[in-house]
Amino acid sequence: MPKPKRILIAIDHASTGGCQEVIKTWLVYLCKHNLDLFVVVLHGKGEYIKLYQELGIKTISLSNYKYNPIIILKFFFIIKNFKPDVIHNNLVISSILGSLFGKFLSINKIIVHVQTEMPLRGAYRYLKSIYKRSVKSSHLIIAVSDKVKFNLIKYYEFPENKITILANTYNINIKQKQPEFIKRLREQFGLPKNALIFGTSGTLIYYKNHELAINAINEIVKSQKNIYLFIAGEGPDREMLEELVKKHDLADHVFLLGKLPHSDTDFPNYNTFIHMLDAFILSSKIEGFPLVALEAMYAKKFVIAAKVSGIETNFIHEKEILSFDIDNQKQLVSCLNQRIKMNEDEVLQITKAAHEKVSNNFGPEHIVECLLKFYTND
């Protein structure tokens, strides 16, 4: 048997997030191949470190603290000593350091994976010039959608011939239904039998735009009292969202569940949440290729989504999903009303088409096969 290729996968942090979940799915399938895998987390002790280790993957965190300069030295010497054939960088700081150190140490292949529409938002915007110079030294840039690729060329001036598109994949375990947990959750919130449950998930931050979903539900419940919204996630905007729920007097209709574990043994968990829903709402202002929407479609859930990166060009309105312009409350309300009026056959037709699209085009085996080609092709 040939010597396994050494693959170092670097990521800024391992707290909850779409990128971390996607990497976990990659690892499940990459483990089946002749690879020596090493995951390096720059900072923190997030739950995904344990999940990666449970797969038998060597995984370490370089620091408990986000802004610890010792991270830089540790990361350099890990690359130097591990001597990877490939460095696969994810998120901003990993991409900067991994690209610079990889070039200095003459690593055979340096990959930067961009999973968001605009990599440098908020505090990271001050790193734009450093990011541009360092990432240009990589051998391959993976963009998760055509919009991400367009932005990388337009705003970061990366050469088009270095960029390839590879969509995100989904967690296949999301398909597993848990009827006993779903029943318990509905009972816990005292939902009537005729309740129609909408839901959304993601970190409670500005870009996820959860307030749009709350405001739209507020319009709906004025005439239909059996409508409910569940939001899974935690973040700095919680207090603002709680105030919005209070302002609209929606305490009996809108529930903030907090961060839900992906483990099937916990209650409630993310699978319970997804399968309880009659429809999933993606209200984001910005995405790369939204994992949560893929998972909902794979779980055969009806999806109402903003036309963010990855959605508009891949899914057909009124055939596979219902879609609306970003931050357009009037259109979202119209989509919600359209879903409410649908009969079971109409819903089934759309959810079946979306499930087939996701399964056939964005399945983990297909995505990982593409990754393997990137890893092994010189």
Which tokens is 53 given?
């280790």
pLDDT tens-place string over residues 125-174: 677 888 888 998 999 999 999 999 999 999 889 999 999 999 999 887 77
Q: How far apart are CA 190 and CA 264, in angstroms?
A: 23
d(CA 196, CA 347): 13
DSSP assignment, residue 123? G
Query: What would the two tokens of residue 193 be?
Result: 């039998």
State the average pLDDT over residues 316-332.
96
Same fold, 5-169+363-376 and 172-361: yes
Mean pLDDT value across residues 98-122: 88
DSSP annotation of 205 reads: S
Distance CA 290, CA 333 (A): 21
User: What pairing do the DSSP bridges indicate for beta strands 140-143 and 58-61?
Assistant: unpaired
- Angstrom CA distances, 341 to 24, 196, 280, 347, 353, stand at 38, 11, 16, 10, 19
Write out pLDDT tens, residues 224-282: 999 999 999 999 999 999 999 999 999 999 999 998 887 666 777 888 889 889 999 99
Q: Is the pTM of this model over 0.85?
A: yes
Residue 1: per-residue pLDDT: 46
Query: Is the separation of the CB atoms in 148 and 135 below 8 Å?
Result: no
Q: Is there a contact between 90 and 166 (Cβ–Cβ < 8 Å)? A: no
Those residues whose C-beta lies under 8 Å from the C-beta of residue 84, and which sit 6 or more positions away, are 6, 7, 8, 38, 107
User: So what's the pLDDT on residue 185?
Assistant: 80
Give residue 183's pLDDT.
81
Whole-number average pLDDT of the chain: 91
Domain ranges of the chain: 5-169+363-376, 172-361
Per DSSP, the three-state class of 376 is helix
Residue whose entry in the numeric block shows the structure tokens 């309740």: 195
pLDDT, tens digit, for every residue of 58-82? 999 998 877 788 999 999 999 999 9
Confidence at residue 76, expressed as pLDDT on a 0 to 100 scale: 97
Q: Under CATH, which number does the domain 5-169+363-376 receive?
A: 3.40.50.2000
Out of 3.40.190.10, 3.40.50.2000, 3.50.50.60, 1.10.8.50, select the CATH number for domain 172-361: 3.40.50.2000
Q: What is the pLDDT of residues 43-60, one digit of tens each?
A: 987 778 888 898 899 999
User: In this predicted structure, what is the pLDDT of residue 127?
Assistant: 78
Q: Which residues pair with 146 in a beta bridge?
A: none
Q: pLDDT tens-digit profile of 184-230?
A: 888 888 888 899 999 999 999 999 999 999 999 999 999 999 999 99
Q: Is the pLDDT of residue 349 over 50?
A: yes
